[in-house]
Amino acid sequence: MKIIACGSVSTIIAPEAYFTGRVLQTPIIEKEAPARLRATLVSFEPGARTYWHTHPLGQTLYVTAGAGLAQTWGEPIQTIRAGDVISFAPGEKHWHGAGQKTAMTHIAMQEALEGVHADWLEAVTPEQYGG
């Protein structure tokens, strides 16, 4: 058993190369091989969002607070709220983030394939985000 004490892991500001707006990330777990799981608590300020991206083995989000938005390429934007679970299939191009006027926090869970958890793509434009 390993216990990671509350407060022992630093929260970081998410890289601007993958996010629009202010986003905070607090690592929950990143398992070493042969395990592949990575889980992160991600907090989006209003208007903040990921870039378009995919995950080689898919991704699951569990919204813990607030309300936000998520979209798969070519599909309509969906509202997501605290308590929702969102599942993206392997290779599914998508983005997710806060609403325009609401903050949102979720736990992002994904597995690595040959060390890769995500493939980051282009920014979500203001027109795409505005719906």
Domain containing residue 35: CATH number? 2.60.120.10
Alpha helices in 1-131 (DSSP H): 126-130
As for how many domains the chain has, the answer is 1
Q: Is 3 inside a domain boundary? A: no
- Residue 44, pLDDT > 90, answer yes
Residue type, 3: I
CA dihedral over 39, 45, 46, 49, signed as positive or negative: negative
Residue 66 is encoded by which pair of tokens?
Answer: 């607030």
Q: Is 40 inside a domain boundary? A: yes
Model pTM? 0.94
DSSP bridge partners of 81? 67
Instruction: Please state which of the ranges 12-21, 24-33, 105-114 shows the lowest mean pLDDT.
Output: 24-33
Write down the pLDDT at residue 131: 61
Q: Which residue in 59, 54, 48, 18 sits closest to 129, CA to CA? A: 48
Q: Is 95 inside a domain boundary? A: yes
Q: Is 15 inside a domain boundary? A: no
Q: Which domain holds residue 83?
A: 21-121
Q: Is 55 inside a domain boundary? A: yes
Q: Is 41 inside a domain boundary? A: yes
Instruction: Please state which of the ranges 32-41, 63-72, 89-98, 105-114 shows the lowest mean pLDDT.
Output: 32-41
